[in-house]
Amino acid sequence: MSIRHFAAVLVAICSLAVIPSYPVLAGQQSADATDKKTIVFVCEHGSAKSVIAAAHFNDLAQKNGIPYLATARGINPDKEIPPYVRTGLSREKLDIKDWQPKPFAKQDAVKAERIVTLGCVLPKSMSTGLTRLQNWNDVPSPKDNFRDASEAIAARVASLVTELASKSKQ
């Protein structure tokens, strides 16, 4: 085998190892998502509260080295994330540039380690028997005051990450 042929084979093998098999979108999945447990944040439109929560969660989970990944979902998803949410999270150095609202689906309910609702109610067909459900219905609207809402959500997320981190160490 010539050096040129060997190099080409080596490059081909290496490139297969580093190309993720699915896109890294909406904090929805990462290249190593199969190793991580999923936390699903759900709000009415999947474009504000759940996005803020998932962005903060993924940032803290990564910083704390816990094997969790958060997704944002909506009961009746908007077509896009509002500019005030994008701008606010950008100011907080949280990247959501490729994120898009997605509907909460049965698959989300099945695979989630935990589901957190923020000011909404899950469809009855997907909420019966869920012992992993938490309701954060007292979170203020980010539309009224983004900073207050983001701080309130971030505080709740920090408590959740602390709980999950201590559980991961056991």
- Give pLDDT tens digits for 20-79: 323 333 444 444 556 899 999 999 999 999 999 999 999 999 999 999 999 999 999 999
Q: How far apart are the first and last CA of the chain?
A: 51
Of 138 and 22, more confident:
138
Residue 163 has pLDDT above 90, yes or no: yes
138-to-6, 14, 49, 128, 155 alpha-carbon distances in Å: 61, 49, 11, 22, 12
**What is the model's pLDDT at position 128?**
57
Average of pLDDT values for 89-98? 96
Pair 156, 56: CB distance under 8 Å: no
Average of pLDDT values for 98-125? 93
Residue 170 has pLDDT above 80, yes or no: no
Percentage of the chain beyond pLDDT 70 is 77
**What is the model's pLDDT at position 125?**
78
Residue 11 has pLDDT above 70, yes or no: no
